[in-house]
């Protein structure tokens, strides 16, 4: 699983959703800041509540395109 995504776990009495907070991620990039775990966890009882949370927060997820671009550049062959 990507470490940049959203985690949803089903439990006997509901659901647990974990998502990275973009504000904490930005703060962690500053050299003078003490590192904080960016994962925040939310708990919901119904699948409908989970769906509403995901719909509201899906666009806040960090993109994974940076890794793919760096990898593509690293393995790209030069044309001779």
Q: What is the pTM of this model?
A: 0.66
Contact assessment for residue 6 and residue 33, using Cβ atoms and an 8 Å cutoff: no
Domain positions in the chain: 6-75
Residue 59 in this model has a pLDDT that exceeds 80:
yes
The yes-or-no verdict on residue 80 having pLDDT over 80 is no
Cα 56 to chain centroid distance, Å, stands at 14
Closest by CA position to 4, among listed 29, 26, 28, 22: 22
Which of these, 16, 4, 6, lies nearest to 47 by C-alpha position?
A: 16
Query: CB–CB of 75/27 below 8 Å?
Result: no
Is 29 or 63 the better-scoring residue by pLDDT? 29
């Amino acid at each position: 699983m990507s470490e940049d995504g959203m985690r949803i776990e089903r439990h006997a009495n509901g659901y647990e959703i974990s998502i990275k907070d973009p504000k904490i991620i930005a703060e962690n990039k500053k050299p003078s800041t003490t590192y904080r775990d960016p994962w925040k966890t939310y708990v919901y009882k119904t699948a409908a509540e989970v769906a509403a949370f995901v719909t509201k927060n899906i666009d806040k997820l960090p993109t994974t395109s940076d890794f793919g671009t760096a990898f593509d550049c690293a393995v790209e062959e030069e044309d001779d």
